[in-house]
């Protein structure tokens, strides 16, 4: 009955797996049990597949091992070699032996619409959607993690002489817009040099729109990108927009711009910034730019408009509109008409997650096909060469309004259908957010990931990509999970179990198109802070370009819910073959200091 009390805490010394010893023996000097820089280079090239590795790379690895393990500085010396324990230490160091590439490597010269973009939703909220504080802190945190699209809901303050950021018609406490703008300026490029887009949900009077224009220009100065023309004909590339800030919202209606009335009827990008946006889910396909469960209708009585507002009819709104580089479009006659491509201008269209789901049903089995087909019929007579909506324009998807707890949805639904801006509540946590974080670990974590070619055009058989159709297997990913370590350093001895070491197991799987989704798990290793599973998994992949590798570690509990021991999500197309150190993260996506797995990746 008291057996559990006899189980003692012990920290077993990490053993080197047999595969690691065999690899070391294969590339080291027989008889000496040492590996020189030249031999380590052979291992990097032949076993790890690092074709471009040079002798200097191997020397740097040995230098760092000697510094960290023995506090010996060997820089410039080539007579040092490493033992099998040193070799194991190197393989288990994620900064020396990461599972994915750490630098930007994709072509960054295509238009913005050719990329998935790391996008936030209600970026100013610290918690739930109804009563949490509004602050610049979550904006700063998002930018530090590489988020490239920040959303701000802007409203008049109670005295209507300044601008607040808050979630309207809720109990959220406001934060001044200027504070948010200044924080964006300070932290915009700490994680990535590529452009930051600020999407505004505008509920302002004309006078306050003029004030926003002044705030934006004074805060960002030359960092601010805007077009000299009324609308962009094509989006610039991320490379062309490095270290620039871009404003995106619905431009003011023509009646606010009497001094440029000659343009009336010519600019289809213009729309009513005050217009009603439907919250009725039955009408979601006919809805405006954002439902979110709240009405954004803002009625302004004439007696409330002061002299400043009247002046802004001639002065403020045109300046405000001029600063809007990415025009938010609204539905005109339903989804079919809204997807119509303008030959000489580009813009942004938003759908709720519900609207996207309904669109996949109401417009055929393949939303991607419908985007192309609808636009082809509408624009072929006009001579448009590429008729796909998401080839030229930006499509944004955002969480439904009933997600009061700031939860999220499956981002792959948006990505599979070409949506560039899959907007997420970054202050939450959960598996959906882990997928989002995993996607944007790719391409050096710069916040822009090039969309696969099949989402941009037809294939060689003139077929359009349909995520529901099961295709032939392109490649199989083999994942061998050797072991894990580091929990004893990051957790207290009694965190998982009061009377014994933890009983860890790992879950390994794929998130992607329906045909590729799977989840498997290792056996449970009892009473060990450094579990050795040595288990191989095989994942046949039909669309590896959209596949994310999911890894979770849990501690088995017979009587209660299993304890969480860490997670990560990695883009399959970025995985480096060979034996790699895989760091784990907590519920919120924050990296543990020490916890990591030793995993081998192979593509066959």
pLDDT, tens digit (0-9, with 9 covering 90-100), for 342-387: 767 899 999 899 888 877 666 533 444 444 444 433 344 333 444 4
At 246 the three-state DSSP class reads strand
Assess whether 33 and 143 both reside in one domain.
Answer: no
Counted domains in the chain: 3
Which H/E stretch holds residue 335?
Answer: helix 335-338
Model pLDDT, residue 67 = 94
Catalytic residue selected from 71, 73, 88, 167: 167
**391 in catalytic set:** no
Assess whether 391 and 488 both reside in one domain.
Answer: no
Assess whether 146 and 281 both reside in one domain.
Answer: yes
Catalytic residue selected from 71, 80, 88, 121: 121
* Domain's final residue, options 400, 423, 452: 452
Assess whether 184 and 279 both reside in one domain.
Answer: yes
Model pLDDT, residue 391 = 84
Question: How far is it, in rounded angstroms, from Cα 174 to Cα 219?
Answer: 20
Q: What percent of the chain has pLDDT over 70?
A: 78
Can you give 424-483 as a three-state secondary structure string? ECCCCCCHHHHHHHHHCCCHHHCCEEECCHHHCCCCCCCCCCCCCCCCCCCEEEEEEEEE
117's torsion region: left (phi>0), alpha (psi -120 to 50) or beta?
Answer: beta
Is the residue at 11 inside a domain?
A: no
Assess whether 351 and 279 both reside in one domain.
Answer: yes
What's the pTM?
Answer: 0.86
Is the residue at 6 inside a domain?
A: no
Assess whether 128 and 86 both reside in one domain.
Answer: no
Which H/E stretch holds residue 532?
Answer: strand 532-541
**Cα→Cα distances 320→131, 270, 327, 512, Å:** 31, 13, 12, 41
* Domain's final residue, options 404, 423, 452: 452
Model pLDDT, residue 341 = 60
Is the residue at 9 inside a domain?
A: no
Is the residue at 25 inside a domain?
A: yes
Is the residue at 360 inside a domain?
A: yes
Model pLDDT, residue 560 = 87
Q: Is the dihedral of CA 47, 50, 51, 52 positive or negative?
A: negative
**167 in catalytic set:** yes
pLDDT digits (tens, 9 = 90+) for 198-236: 999 999 999 999 999 999 999 999 999 998 877 888 999
CATH number at residue 547: 2.60.40.150
Is the residue at 458 inside a domain?
A: no
Is the residue at 535 inside a domain?
A: yes
Is the residue at 121 inside a domain?
A: yes
Assess whether 170 and 230 both reside in one domain.
Answer: yes
Assess whether 32 and 178 both reside in one domain.
Answer: no
* Domain's final residue, options 33, 56, 91: 91
Parent domain of 186: 112-259+267-297+307-452
Burial letters for 244-278: b for 16+ Cβ neighbours within 10 Å, e otherwise?
Answer: bbbbbbbbbbbebbeeeeeeeeebebbbebbeebb
DSSP 113-151: GGEEEEEESSTTBSS-TTTPBB-SHHHHHHHHTT--EEE
Model pLDDT, residue 368 = 47
Q: For 552, list phi and psi in degrees, rounded to 5.
A: -135, 145
Assess whether 287 and 363 both reside in one domain.
Answer: yes
CATH number at residue 86: 1.10.238.10
Which segments of the chain have a pLDDT < 70? Answer: 1-14, 74-79, 254-317, 330-341, 343, 360-388, 459-462
Q: What is the DSSP letter of 587?
A: T
Model pLDDT, residue 72 = 85
Model pLDDT, residue 530 = 95
Assess whether 132 and 174 both reside in one domain.
Answer: yes
Assess whether 23 and 138 both reside in one domain.
Answer: no
Assess whether 315 and 414 both reside in one domain.
Answer: yes
CATH number at residue 182: 3.20.20.190
Q: For 250, list phi and psi in degrees, rounded to 5.
A: -85, 125
Model pLDDT, residue 468 = 86
């Amino acid at each position: 009955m008291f057996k559990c009390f006899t189980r003692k805490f012990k920290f077993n010394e990490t053993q080197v797996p047999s595969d690691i010893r065999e690899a070391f023996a294969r590339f080291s000097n027989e008889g000496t049990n040492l590996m020189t820089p030249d031999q380590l280079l052979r291992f990097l090239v032949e076993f790890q597949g690092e074709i471009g590795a040079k002798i200097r790379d191997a020397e740097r690895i040995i230098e760092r091992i000697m510094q960290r393990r023995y506090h010996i500085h060997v820089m410039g010396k080539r007579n040092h070699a490493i033992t099998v324990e040193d070799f194991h230490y190197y393989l288990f160091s994620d900064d020396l032996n990461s599972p994915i590439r750490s630098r930007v490597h994709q072509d960054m010269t295509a238009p913005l619409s050719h990329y998935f973009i790391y996008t936030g939703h209600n970026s100013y909220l610290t918690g739930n959607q109804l009563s949490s504080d509004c602050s610049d802190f979550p904006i700063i945190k998002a930018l530090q993690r590489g988020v490239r699209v920040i959303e701000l809901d802007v409203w008049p303050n109670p005295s209507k002489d300044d601008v607040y950021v808050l979630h309207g018609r809720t109990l959220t406490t406001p934060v001044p817009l200027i504070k948010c703008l200044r924080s964006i300026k300070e932290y915009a490029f700490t994680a990535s040099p590529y452009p930051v887009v600020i999407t505004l949900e505008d509920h302002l009077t004309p006078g306050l729109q003029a004030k926003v224009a002044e705030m934006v220009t004074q805060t960002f100065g030359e960092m601010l990108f805007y077009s000299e023309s009324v609308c962009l004909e094509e989006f610039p590339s991320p490379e062309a927009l490095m270290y620039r800030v871009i404003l995106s919202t619905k431009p003011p209606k023509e009646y606010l711009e009497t001094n440029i009335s000659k343009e009336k009827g010519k600019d289809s990008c213009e729309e009513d910034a005050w217009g009603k946006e439907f919250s009725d889910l039955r009408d979601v396909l006919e809805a405006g730019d954002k439902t979110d469960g709240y009405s954004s209708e803002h009625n302004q009585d004439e007696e409330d408009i002061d002299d400043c507002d009247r002046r802004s009819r001639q002065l403020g709104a045109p300046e405000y509109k001029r600063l809007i580089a990415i025009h938010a479009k609204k539905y005109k006659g339903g989804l079919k008409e809204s997807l119509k491509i303008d030959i000489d201008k580009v813009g942004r269209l938003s759908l709720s997650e519900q609207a996207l789901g309904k669109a996949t049903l109401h417009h055929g089995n393949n939303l991607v096909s419908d985007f192309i087909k609808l636009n082809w019929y509408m624009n072929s007579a006009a001579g448009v060469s590429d008729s796909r909506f998401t080839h030229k324009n930006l499509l944004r998807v955002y969480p439904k309004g009933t997600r009061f707890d700031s939860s999220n949805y499956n981002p792959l639904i948006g990505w599979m259908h070409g949506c560039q801006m899959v907007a997420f509540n970054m202050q939450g946590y959960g598996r959906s957010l882990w997928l989002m974080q995993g996607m944007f670990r790719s391409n050096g974590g710069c916040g822009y990931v090039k969309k696969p070619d099949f989402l941009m055009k037809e294939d060689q058989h003139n077929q359009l990509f349909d995520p529901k159709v099961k295709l032939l297997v392109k490649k199989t990913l083999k994942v061998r999970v050797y072991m894990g370590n580091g929990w004893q350093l990051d957790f207290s001895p009694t965190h998982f179990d009061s009377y014994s070491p933890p009983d860890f197991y790992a879950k390994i799987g794929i998130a992607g198109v329906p045909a590729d989704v799977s989840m498997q798990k290792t056996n449970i290793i009892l009473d060990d802070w450094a579990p050795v599973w040595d288990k191989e998994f095989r994942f046949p992949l039909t669309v590896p370009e959209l596949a994310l590798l999911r890894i979770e570690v849990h501690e088995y509990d017979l009587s209660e819910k299993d304890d969480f021991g860490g997670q990560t999500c990695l883009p399959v197309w970025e995985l480096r073959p060979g034996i790699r150190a895989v760091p784990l993260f907590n519920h919120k996506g924050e990296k543990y200091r020490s916890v990591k797995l030793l995993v081998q990746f192979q593509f066959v």
